[in-house]
Structure 1
Amino acid sequence: MASDRSLAIDTPKARKRRHRNPNSRWTNTLFVVPFVIVYVLLLIVPLGLGWWLSLQNVDLLAGTSEFIGIKNYLDLVFDPIFRGAVRNTFYFVILTVPVFVVIGLALALVLNRPGRFGAALRAIFFGSSVLSVTIVTLVWKLVLMPGHGLLADVSHAMGIPEYVPLLHEATALPTIAVVTVWWIAGLPMMLFLAALQQIPQELYEAAALDNATRWRTFTKITLPSIWRTVALVAVIEAVFQFQLFGQAQLLTDGGPNNSTRPLVQFIYETGFRQWTFGYSAAAAQVLFAFMLIGVVVQAWLLRKKESA
């Protein structure tokens, strides 16, 4: 009986049903083709053109270009303004990314509770993230304005000398970092909230029965459960903060003494103020390489954590 049943199953008709129709594969491919076309046209092609442009000496006024190889990249190495922009960008990423992770997670832990009050606080903290960079910098200019800003008024009321952080090299970039954290902290908070709400409550109930402390519950249950989200927030914010531009340009325009000029502003100024598009494209490729390295390192750390 068993052999007859196996023979009945293993018929050409049954084998045909088990194997997918080749025509259906082409049909499924057609659904992917529009995305692939858009992806290639909007990402791959511009990336290739930008790389090729970085190897050219472009004279926009004359409408000519000359292939010069890696000369633009060599010039970047010996350009003190470019090196300062790279240093400022990395310093800004180091200042902001850990703070985004810590503050975002702390806000999520505090506001991860039901009720209208918690929902209202979440909306307040997330509300600043939807503002444009122009509005954010305008608000903070009113706070940091020399002589008439909110910070100056508080200093005068307390009888202490006025200090304008944007006018000093040591504090200008950290001040922009504070503005950025105030602006975007709501986004990592929402990501952490979504991760926290996916943790089974039974784990916390079991920890409570074992009389586990809050710190032990956090380190043994909460943090391991949301490790992927921590890595995701770190990667997203690192990529975003490497692209610092609007805050620095609108608040300080790269000053004082180029202490707040980021790499994106350097790319913009060399391309659209000095009209050296090949040089600007080379700097853009360097920025892309930095961002790519950051993503690869974060992915490696995440995989190492999972295999441990």
Structure 2
Amino acid sequence: MTTLTPAAPAPSASGTGRGAVTARSRTARRKWTEHGLVFVAPFLVVYGLFLVWPLISGLGMSLTSENITGTEAEFIGLDNYAEALADPQMWSSLWNTVWFTVLSTVPLVLVGLVLALLAHQLRVVQWLWRISWFAPFLLPSGVVCMLFAQMIFPPGFGLADQLLASAGLEPGIGWLSDERYAMLSIVLTTVWWTVGFNFLLYLAALQAVPQHLYEAAELDGAGAWRRLLHITLPLLRRTTGLVLVLQVLASLKIFDQVYLMTGGGPDDSTRPILQYVYQQGFTGYRIGYASAVSYVFFALVLIVSLVQPVLARRKEEAGK
């Protein structure tokens, strides 16, 4: 006698569809988790809202007559850029920015390296030296600028003039009011304030240098000077390249010290390009033109950030 077994019910089309959708959603979630996309998604959202979108919006604004007076903006194409390239004040401000970068970068790199070498060699209260040299970097820009403007550089009774008088030199120099000394005063303030960051990078790199290299060189009769020239400095080459790139980019973006200490004077001799953008946008109400000037400056910063590592890499390959 044959027993008939009931056949299994065929899956409905709707059930198959729901199962396929569920499987695809699980696969998509697994991909997001495996590749870490779920973790970087908040950063991408913030990055897009606060960097990518402002860049796109500013670029579009630079092609218009946008202003903050309430009048309707019109599309004017590249007229703002043509005006900016023919504007002597824009070029003067750009030159002040480049000149500050040249004057500040060299001492910031060299002083940071020297301080790191000293802190690495000192064995007595080493932590105190490190904190002392890094502490100014933690101060707000307003505090640093007011400290130097009201205590270091005032003519006659400031610390700078007192040092000149004690050395038998003529005091009463207009450190912040004389075109010959205003930029130098801002550079000195910046070096004292920000050298701690470069010092910290160099100190971390020095601590990573293998100690056995120094021991082997000492056994071969190499003195401290030879060990510095042939071991320490070559092994710090990559750190120096990093410090140079970061320092040049930071110096090109100078604004706080100049605005708080000299206001761009005397006679706009210290006004950087970012202050000129600020004046055109919020004092002259020309947001479109200020955007065009800022994109001219952005092109300069982009060129520097792309060219400098290439030159450093070629120099490193040539030295091998």
Q: Give, in whole Å, the separation in 2 of the partners of 1:137 and 1:232.
A: 27
Instruction: Name the CA shift for 1:184/1:159 in 2 (closer, same or farther; >3 Å).
Output: closer
Residue number in structure 1 paired with 2:238: 228
Instruction: Name the CA shift for 1:69/1:24 in 2 (closer, same or farther; >3 Å).
Output: same
Q: Which SS does the other structure have where 2:254 is aligned? A: coil
Letter in 2 for 1:95: L
Q: Give, in whole Å, the separation in 2 of the partners of 1:222 and 1:161.
A: 42
Letter in 2 for 1:47: L
Q: Which SS does the other structure have where 2:264 is aligned? A: coil
Residue number in structure 2 paired with 1:151: 160
User: C-alpha deviations, 1:152-195, integer Å up to 9, x for none?
Assistant: 44555647342122222122111111110011111100000000
Q: Give, in whole Å, the separation in 1 of the partners of 2:154 and 2:74.
A: 47
Q: Give, in whole Å, the separation in 2 of the partners of 1:74 and 1:213.
A: 59
* Aligned Cα root-mean-square deviation (Å): 1.9
The alignment covers a number of residue pairs equal to: 288
1:140 has 2:148 as partner: yes
Of 110, 121, 126, the residue aligned with 1:118 is 126
Q: Report sequence identity in percent.
A: 38
Q: Give, in whole Å, the separation in 2 of the partners of 1:177 and 1:167.
A: 15
Q: Give, in whole Å, the separation in 2 of the partners of 1:103 and 1:155.
A: 22
Of 225, 228, 245, the residue aligned with 2:255 is 245
User: C-alpha deviations, 1:125-166, integer Å up to 9, x for none?
Assistant: 111111111111111112111233233445556473421222
Residue number in structure 2 paired with 1:88: 96
1:45 has 2:53 as partner: yes
Q: Give, in whole Å, the separation in 2 of the partners of 1:213 and 1:114.
A: 18
1:197 has 2:218 as partner: no
Of 24, 29, 35, the residue aligned with 2:30 is 24
Residue number in structure 2 paired with 1:303: 313
Contact residue 65 and residue 74 of structure 2 kept, 8 A: yes
User: Does 22-31 or 51-60 show the bigger shift?
Assistant: 22-31
User: C-alpha deviations, 1:189-234, integer Å up to 9, x for none?
Assistant: 0000000100100111111111123333222211221211111111
Of 265, 285, 288, the residue aligned with 2:295 is 285
Q: Which structure 1 residue ranges, 4+ long, deviate > 6 Å from structure 2?
A: none
Contact residue 156 and residue 162 of structure 1 kept, 8 A: no
Residue number in structure 2 paired with 1:16: none
How far residue 300 of structure 1 moved from its aligned partner, in angstroms, is 0.5
Q: Which has the larger radius of gyration?
A: 2
User: C-alpha deviations, 1:69-125, integer Å up to 9, x for none?
Assistant: 111111112222111100000000001111111110111011114645221011111
Note the residue ranges of structure 2 that are not aligned, 5 or more in a row: 1-26
